[in-house]
Amino acid sequence: MASLLRRLVDWARSRSPWMIHYCAACGAVEFPPLVMSPLDWERYGYMPVPSPRQADFVAGMGYLTRKTVKLMINLFRQTPNPKFVVAGCNCTATGGLYWDSYATYKRLDDFFTVSGWVPGCMPMPDDWTALITDLRRQIYEGLKGDKLKDAEEFIARVEEGERKWREEYFAKPQPPVNYAFKETYPECEERYERVKLCVTSVRRERLKTALAELKEKGFVLLSNIDAVDYPKNGVIELYYFVENKDDSSQVALKTFVPRSEPEIESVHDLYPNALFIEREVYEMMGVVFKGHPELRKWILDGNWEGPPPLRKDVDTATYVVKTFYGGDKYGR
């Protein structure tokens, strides 16, 4: 009798597999067509639920950044038993296209046991349909679902190694400055008519006055800040792209900071969005913006503990292959 009841419960549960509504990565873009028109997954009893406490399974959809993995572990802990983990897309299985990315973990089954795989980049919607029929079978057969592996130890080990690398990196002496620079502002030194771009050079001491002048002339939009690292010359070049509100012509102000003392004045009082672009350049390139009210890790927070990854002498690809693939991937 009891077993009959259990089978009835399993049957009922298999007819309503609910997933945590968590759009973890690019694979999630195929879910609206799956769940809504034209494929209508609700006929399988599927529903995305906002709370993990109501869910039956959690799906990894695409690449797993380190921050996302930490969150997924958290979500998985809150899901009631029996719970299932499914892995969609190639990146959850092997690292996929982002095999040399310093900010992603390569395999979902380093962290959980996994009940279903959907290959492809991105998987076609029918592949997901095959997955859900299989998941329904697994729930109906009363399988116990998936477990968490010793994930936190792995994460802590990786992050500890990166912190050590960061210390070593900043303890190293910087090469001397060997760089030819001529101030040309306000004349253009390169001009590209088709994209309406004018490149001009200015020393870093005069950068802020030059930007203030340009802003007076109508260049009110700060489009972007680019930083290019030249370890051989011992400098980091900075490009400030500003845009005119009337004819949308752009000026790229080129300047440089020595790598031994990468400091420059913040321009957030002229351009409010510089606050965030500067913060990004700081964490990626290690350029310090003086006068910035909140210079801290932002995008890399929780993703990367090592030295500024966009510096040219930080070889993240070799590091990733050594740490996550045991030193052998694509001939590296």
Instruction: Give residues 76-95 in contact with another protein (rule: CB under 8 A).
Output: none
The two tokens of residue 45 are 């009893």
**Whole-number minimum distance, CB 68 to another protein, in Å?**
5
Output the CA angle 88-93-96, nearest 5 degrees: 100
Give the pair of three-digit tokens for residue 209.
Answer: 């006055």
Least distance from C-beta 9 to another protein, angstroms? 27
Site string for another protein, 129-168 (x = CB under 8 A): ----------------------------------------
Question: Do residues 289 and 238 touch, judged by C-beta distance below 8 A?
Answer: no
What tokens were used for 279? 């913060």
Phi–psi pair at 42, nearest 5 degrees: -65, -20
Residue 58's beta-bridge partner residues? Answer: 85
Q: How far apart are CA 61 and CA 58, in angstroms?
A: 9
41 near another protein, judged by CB under 8 A: no
Q: Is 34 helix (H, G, I), strand (E, B) or coil?
A: helix
Total residue length of the chain: 332
Q: Is the Cβ of residue 140 or residue 319 nearer to another protein in the bound state?
A: 319
Please identify, among the stretches 6-14, 48-56, 158-166, 202-210, the one whose residues bind another protein according to the rule CB under 8 A: 48-56
Q: State which residue, 200 or 303, has the beta carbon closest to another protein.
A: 303
Decide if residue 218 touches another protein (CB under 8 A): no
Report the residue from 37, 81, 216, 326 that binds another protein according to the rule CB under 8 A.
37
Q: Please tell me the distance from the alpha carbon of residue 251 to that of residue 255, in angstroms, as a whole number.
A: 13
Q: Which of 43, 182, 245, 290 binds another protein (CB under 8 A)?
A: 245
Candidates 119, 302, 323, 329: give the one binding another protein (CB under 8 A): 302
Residue pair 200/252 in contact by the 8 Å Cβ criterion: yes
- Least distance to another protein, CB of residue 251, Å: 12
29 is an interface residue for another protein by CB under 8 A: yes
Least distance between another protein and beta carbon 138 (Å): 24
